[in-house]
Amino acid sequence: MSEIYELRVNGVDYPVTADANRNLSGVLRDELGLTGTKEGCDDCECGACMVLLDGQPINSCSYLAAQAQGREISTVEGLMDRDEMHPLQTNILECGGVQCGFCTPGMLMSAHALLERTPEPSLEEIKVGLSGNLCRCTGYGTIFEAVAAASKVEKVEP
Amino acid sequence: MRHSEPMRRFVRADGPEKVTGSGRYTADLTLTGQLIAKFRYAEVSHGRITKLDVSAAREVAGVLAVLTQDDVPDLRYGDAVADRTLFARDVVRFEGEVIAAVAATSAQAAQAGIDAIIVEIDELPAITDVEEALTEQSPLVHEGWADYESGWGCERNRNVASFSSISKGDAAAAMNTADHVVSSRFVADGSHALPIEPRSVVAQWEGNKVTIWTSTQVPFKARDGVCETLGLPSNRVRVIVPHLGGGFGGKCGFHFEAHIAALSRAARRPVKLVFSREEEFLAPDRRREGIVFEVTSGVMDNGDIVARTGKVVVDNGAYTADAGFFPQMASMHLAGPYKVANVHIDAHLVYTNHQPSGSVRAPTAPQACWALESHTDELAAAIGMDPVDFRLRNCVDTGDEGVVGQTYDEIGLIECIEAATGAAGYGRTELAADEAIGVAVGWWPSFPGASGAYVKLEADGSGEIITGAQECGTGSVMTLRQLAADELGMDPEDFQIVYQDTAAGPYDAGATGSQTLLNNGRAVQNASRQIAGQLRQMAADRFEASPDDIVLGDGVAMVVGTPDRSVPIAELARSSMNTELLLGHGSSAPVDTPVLRNSTCVGDMGLSAWIGPQFSCHAVRVKVDRDTGVARVVSVHAAHDSGTIINPIAARGQIEGGVVMGIGQALSEGTQYDERGAQRNAALLEYKLQTAADIPPIHTKFVEVFTNDAGPNGAKGVAEAPNVATAAAIANAISKVVGAPVRQLPMTAERVWEHSVGNGEVAS
């Protein structure tokens, strides 16, 4: 049965009409057109679908969309500030942390949540913070460097 | 000649869309009226179909098309041998084989259609042991396959899909003269390419033409597969690859594009397929092959290897896909980059009822290197020589002759060994009793092939590269901008790239065999040089100079040495509208390879002699908990001769990614089968990839050897080579700690622990 409700994504309220059993990643992608969030396993194992719910990273493939009502959902499409890329975005490119790019949106959202709660993470904290996101291309090291570099950029911001 | 291009920061052209979420992958596409496709799979590894009734499925609400082999041209296809059909007919040979396909208005309706198909299969004994499958008594995976066509001239002998041997000197006689003879046996499990993007295909017909968006690494090959199986000419099938979410070989080959195109034609609607992770594990014909190795070497007290014999049995799975050349590759890797005068190796590719094998990143090499390099440490131990000294003594260097009689031009293997072991502190570092540094050397060919590109300069001076090449994440297509910019004296950022569209660019083999920059790079250079010639002529006319005296650089064409006689390239481009458009086309003819002495049923394939062979040495420090068998990689030092490095960031990314894939293959990644041939760990939690938390520091050193007759500016390939030696180096470190080689791959904690116990090394 379809339900009608609202989801707040990247600061925008969207009306949603979807079955109650739809997962959040499916609604974001198919109903709202926000395909930046990827689906790699539908089982909470790969992290490609990682979004933030009130700032906390969750696997949106395994979260019911209707349960996200009244919460603040953040996806990769909301990372840019107008036309300015987020330091995580610029640094992951400059460090070579993007290859095929399929894990990148989820990786960026996990990293974003990490830097919000731990502005100056150690390497170990970065590794733990990204351990729910699988990357098959890069070997991860350049992504660690990008997160560390972005944390330094954020630190000098007012 | 040693050659080094200046290091450049290089942000990939497809980067902004990949980090902002605006880049589209195949599964992100939605077409108006689009249907959803689902497949019905065999679900048994071997059996005879006694009943297949789809009539009820056709009546399910929302189902617009149901297809079986009755609904498509009934022909067999395949690279090495035509051994399969789009849908199973009569017999199923692996659990992921497609029997029928449904297209419906929703995923639920499609699944209801699948569930309504009546399939009855009489199960046959599954042939799952590759060595038993090689025996005379084994039942056949393909009854009557002597009648199958083989473009590669395969022998079609019992279950042997292809055979290759290397024979040099007199191995038996030389073995009798050796001071020590060591025999080893190793068994490598199969594994998976496992790109994070599950594959997806969307097809749409307009009139008698079909456009297929698909997550393939090889768009032209996918197109040709559609044309062959559906009986269409090339110019009526357009394959477009949106962004590709990784491949690692798993998305090479022609897979499901024809199924979806046929569904779309039958339903008269666009049709979309998106694989689940489980389907991605079970259905593609691109699994990394399991292999059994037996190798015997004779060594002298002074450290010379005088003889080597070997036997390789490669698990082909149910269909041959592109695995026909695997025996050749596996035997080369079991011989190794060593000076051995007397060698005899036989390698067989053998059908079983497992998922088909196919080219996954450096096919056969990580397994064969693991076996050979474990064996090499055993040889060094037999004569009491340090294993690195033993390799330095026996490895091929510039001017040496390799195992098939190829004499190597300038190569950097010895420098790789010195660089990796030196940086790792091998022999100089105090290590705890539970730690060791293992060392292994590897090699891998560069693959020549036909490849084309166009380059054009627009009237505003911006450039466009239109290439048939495919980007799978490595950055090799992105690097083409740099090559065009170098030829035309412009900036890489001045160029956009149109790529992965068979209707736009000329032919290219795709993101396969580390070949993109090697072959398409030369094509782009050639196309750019045509425009450079046009620009020089235009500037020469303007300044009444000789075209030979015009230099292109910093965005201007200038008479050499006279900056006041220069004109911006953009101005020449604008004036080209009044004269002749600035268009270039380039192609890279395959490089000839010498014909060498070996015999193989699949022909030479250009692989017996290796164009631009790449060399590597990995030195890996590993810590082993002998009580539990858990091995952890502490650090990796990788040194690579991949020729000139064109794009340092991308090349580093290949090394680190390949090393981490190698760590996975070494320690955790292996397909487990039950006795009926079904995969037991077709899920990410059970098939464990390396995660961020597992990653050690990885240090990369490029030994840049300028290589003639290879890629642009002396480059070779780089993407597969780093995958070759990592597992082997880890194995040698584990062996040092636990006292004997672990003879099964992956070297899981259980297996390491068992070997540890076997050597009485376990703490009581």
Flag if B695 and A48 touch (Cβ within 8 Å): no
Helix (H, G, I), strand (E, B) or coil at B137: coil
Residues in a beta bridge with B72: none
Is residue B235 predicted with pLDDT exceeding 70? yes
How many CB atoms neighbour CB B725 within 10 A?
A: 36
With CA atoms as reference, the chain A residue closest to B243 would be A100
For position A75, what pLDDT does the model report?
98
User: Do A21 and A59 fall within a single domain?
Assistant: yes
DSSP state letter for A133 = S
pLDDT > 70: what percent of chain B?
A: 95
- Please state, in angstroms and rounded to a whole number, the distance separating the CA atoms of residues B641 and B619: 15
User: Do A58 and A115 fall within a single domain?
Assistant: no
Which residues make Cβ contacts (< 8 Å) with residue B137, sequence separation at least 6?
none
User: Do A100 and A71 fall within a single domain?
Assistant: no
B32 reaches A (C-beta below 8 A): no
Q: Could you write out the three-class secondary structure of B326-392?
A: HHHHHHHHHHCCECCCCEEEEEEEEECCCCCECCCCCCCHHHHHHHHHHHHHHHHHHCCCCHHHHHH
H helix runs in B59-129, sequence order: 107-116
Parallel, antiparallel, or unpaired: how do β-strands B160-168 and B287-288 relate? unpaired
A36 reaches B (C-beta below 8 A): yes
Tell me the average pLDDT across B279-294.
96
pLDDT in tens, B514-567: 999 999 999 999 999 999 999 999 999 999 999 999 999 999 999 999 999 999
With CA atoms as reference, the chain B residue closest to A83 would be B20
B106 reaches A (C-beta below 8 A): no
Asked if residue B630 is part of any domain, the answer here is: yes
- Please state, in angstroms and rounded to a whole number, the distance separating the CA atoms of residues B394 and B380: 11
Which residues make Cβ contacts (< 8 Å) with residue B117, sequence separation at least 6?
B40, B52, B53, B54, B56, B57, B66, B99, B100, B102
pLDDT in tens, B64-88: 999 999 999 999 999 888 999 999 9
pLDDT in tens, B613-672: 999 999 999 999 999 999 999 999 999 999 999 999 999 999 999 999 999 999 999 999
**Domain range enclosing B623:** 290-359+382-446+611-758
User: Do A93 and A148 fall within a single domain?
Assistant: yes
Q: What is the largest CA-CA distance in chain A?
A: 50
Question: Which residues on A lie below 8 Å from B246 (Cβ)?
Answer: 99-100, 102, 136-137
Question: Which residues on B lie below 8 Å from A142 (Cβ)?
Answer: 652-653, 656
User: Do B259 and B304 fall within a single domain?
Assistant: no
User: Do B86 and B69 fall within a single domain?
Assistant: yes
Is residue B275 predicted with pLDDT exceeding 50? yes
- Please state, in angstroms and rounded to a whole number, the distance separating the CA atoms of residues A21 and B655: 43
User: Do A52 and A69 fall within a single domain?
Assistant: yes
For position B709, what pLDDT does the model report?
80
What CATH number is attached to the domain comprising A60? Answer: 3.10.20.30
Distance from CA of A20 to the nearest CA of B (A): 15
Parallel, antiparallel, or unpaired: how do β-strands B556-559 and B550-553 relate? antiparallel
Helix (H, G, I), strand (E, B) or coil at A90: helix
For position B594, what pLDDT does the model report?
56
Distance from CA of B44 to the nearest CA of A (A): 23
User: Do B417 and B550 fall within a single domain?
Assistant: no
Identify the domain boundary among B245, B274, B303.
Answer: B274
What CATH number is attached to the domain comprising B472? Answer: 3.30.365.10
Question: Angle CA(B323)–CA(B251)–CA(B77) in degrees, nearest 5?
Answer: 50
**Would you call B577 exposed, middle or buried from its count of C-beta atoms within 10 A (0-12, 13-18, 19+)?**
exposed
**pLDDT, tens digit only, all 158 positions of chain A:** 789 999 999 999 999 999 999 999 999 999 999 999 999 999 999 999 999 999 999 999 999 999 999 999 999 999 999 999 999 999 999 999 999 999 999 999 999 999 999 999 999 999 999 999 999 999 999 999 999 999 987 554 44
Parallel, antiparallel, or unpaired: how do β-strands A50-53 and A56-59 relate? antiparallel
Query: Are B667 and B623 a contacting pair, CB within 8 Å?
Result: no
Tell me the average pLDDT across B31-56.
98
Half-sphere exposure of B535 (CA within 13 A, CB side): 36
Flag if A45 and B9 touch (Cβ within 8 Å): no
Query: Are B274 and B280 a contacting pair, CB within 8 Å?
Result: no
Is residue B606 predicted with pLDDT exceeding 50? no
With CA atoms as reference, the chain B residue closest to A98 would be B15
Helix (H, G, I), strand (E, B) or coil at B718: coil
Helix (H, G, I), strand (E, B) or coil at B485: helix
- Please state, in angstroms and rounded to a whole number, the distance separating the CA atoms of residues B431 and A32: 56
A121 reaches B (C-beta below 8 A): no
Q: What is the pTM of this model?
A: 0.96
User: Do B647 and B549 fall within a single domain?
Assistant: no
For position B758, what pLDDT does the model report?
61
- Please state, in angstroms and rounded to a whole number, the distance separating the CA atoms of residues B734 and B687: 21
pLDDT in tens, B153-173: 667 789 999 888 888 899 999
Mean pLDDT of chain B: 93
User: Do B317 and B426 fall within a single domain?
Assistant: yes
**Residue B403 backbone class (left: φ over 0; alpha: ψ -120 to 50; beta: rest):** alpha
With CA atoms as reference, the chain A residue closest to B656 would be A139
Confidence label for B593 from pLDDT (cuts 50, 70 and 90): low
User: Tokens at residue B719, please?
Assistant: 């993407």
- Please state, in angstroms and rounded to a whole number, the distance separating the CA atoms of residues B723 and B662: 5
What Cα–Cα distance (Å) separates residue B402 from each residue in B244, B339, B704, B746? Answer: 37, 6, 21, 29
**Domain tally for chain A?**
2
Burial profile B148-157: b = 16 or more Cβ within 10 angstroms, e = fewer: bebebebebe
Tell me the average pLDDT across B84-94.
97
Distance from CA of A68 to the nearest CA of B (A): 21
- Please state, in angstroms and rounded to a whole number, the distance separating the CA atoms of residues B142 and B140: 5
Report the interhelical angle of B726-738 vs B749-758 (nearest 10°).
40
Asked if residue B156 is part of any domain, the answer here is: no
User: Do B333 and B465 fall within a single domain?
Assistant: no
For position B177, what pLDDT does the model report?
98
With CA atoms as reference, the chain A residue closest to B247 would be A100
Is residue B683 predicted with pLDDT exceeding 50? yes
Is residue B467 predicted with pLDDT exceeding 90? yes
Question: Which residues on A lie below 8 Å from B685 (Cβ)?
Answer: 43, 45
What CATH number is attached to the domain comprising A133? Answer: 1.10.150.120
Question: Which residues on A lie below 8 Å from B658 (Cβ)?
Answer: 139
User: Do A92 and A67 fall within a single domain?
Assistant: no
Is residue B689 predicted with pLDDT exceeding 70? yes
User: Do B304 and B406 fall within a single domain?
Assistant: yes
With CA atoms as reference, the chain A residue closest to B25 would be A102
Is residue B310 predicted with pLDDT exceeding 90? yes
* Among candidates B12, B24, B650 on the partner chain, residue whose Cβ is nearest the Cβ of A93: B12
Query: Are A91 and A146 a contacting pair, CB within 8 Å?
Result: yes
pLDDT in tens, B452-466: 999 999 999 999 999
Return the residue in B36, B191, B196, B477 with the most chain A beta carbons within 10 A, the one to mutate for interface testing.
Answer: B196
Is residue B90 predicted with pLDDT exceeding 90? yes
Return the residue in A104, A107, A137, A142 with the most chain B beta carbons within 10 A, the one to mutate for interface testing.
Answer: A137
User: Do B417 and B324 fall within a single domain?
Assistant: yes
Asked if residue B638 is part of any domain, the answer here is: yes
For position B762, what pLDDT does the model report?
40
User: Tokens at residue B661, please?
Assistant: 């894939």
- Please state, in angstroms and rounded to a whole number, the distance separating the CA atoms of residues A98 and A107: 10
User: Do B534 and B545 fall within a single domain?
Assistant: yes
For position B166, what pLDDT does the model report?
86
With CA atoms as reference, the chain A residue closest to B193 would be A136
Flag if A136 and B472 touch (Cβ within 8 Å): no
User: Do A70 and A99 fall within a single domain?
Assistant: no
Asked if residue B512 is part of any domain, the answer here is: yes
Q: Provide the strand spans (E) within B1-87.
A: 35-41, 47-53, 63-67
- Please state, in angstroms and rounded to a whole number, the distance separating the CA atoms of residues A144 and A136: 15
DSSP state letter for B518 = I
Q: Which of B678, B122, B639, B716 is nearest to B426 (CA)?
A: B639
Flag if B276 and A42 touch (Cβ within 8 Å): yes
- Please state, in angstroms and rounded to a whole number, the distance separating the CA atoms of residues B250 and B247: 5
**Domain tally for chain B?**
3
How many CB atoms neighbour CB A33 within 10 A?
A: 12
For position B607, what pLDDT does the model report?
58
**Residue A11 backbone class (left: φ over 0; alpha: ψ -120 to 50; beta: rest):** left
User: Do B432 and B540 fall within a single domain?
Assistant: no
Which residues make Cβ contacts (< 8 Å) with residue A123, sequence separation at least 6?
A144, A148
Identify the domain boundary among A30, A60, A78.
Answer: A78
Cβ-Cβ contacts under 8 Å between A and B: the total is: 165
Which residues make Cβ contacts (< 8 Å) with residue A72, sequence separation at least 6?
A8, A11, A52, A53, A54, A55
pLDDT in tens, B347-399: 999 999 999 999 999 999 999 999 999 999 999 999 999 999 999 999 999 99
**Domain range enclosing A146:** 87-156
Identify the domain boundary among A78, A97, A121.
Answer: A78
For position B16, what pLDDT does the model report?
96
What Cα–Cα distance (Å) separates residue B568 from each residue in B224, B471, B578, B623? Answer: 43, 32, 17, 60
Question: Which residues on A lie below 8 Å from B660 (Cβ)?
Answer: 139-140
User: Do B325 and B455 fall within a single domain?
Assistant: no
User: Do A56 and A101 fall within a single domain?
Assistant: no
Flag if A139 and B660 touch (Cβ within 8 Å): yes
Is residue B599 predicted with pLDDT exceeding 60? no
User: Tokens at residue B744, please?
Assistant: 């099964």
B474 reaches A (C-beta below 8 A): yes
User: Do B106 and B228 fall within a single domain?
Assistant: yes
- Please state, in angstroms and rounded to a whole number, the distance separating the CA atoms of residues B244 and B222: 14
B371, amino acid identity: A
For position B6, what pLDDT does the model report?
41
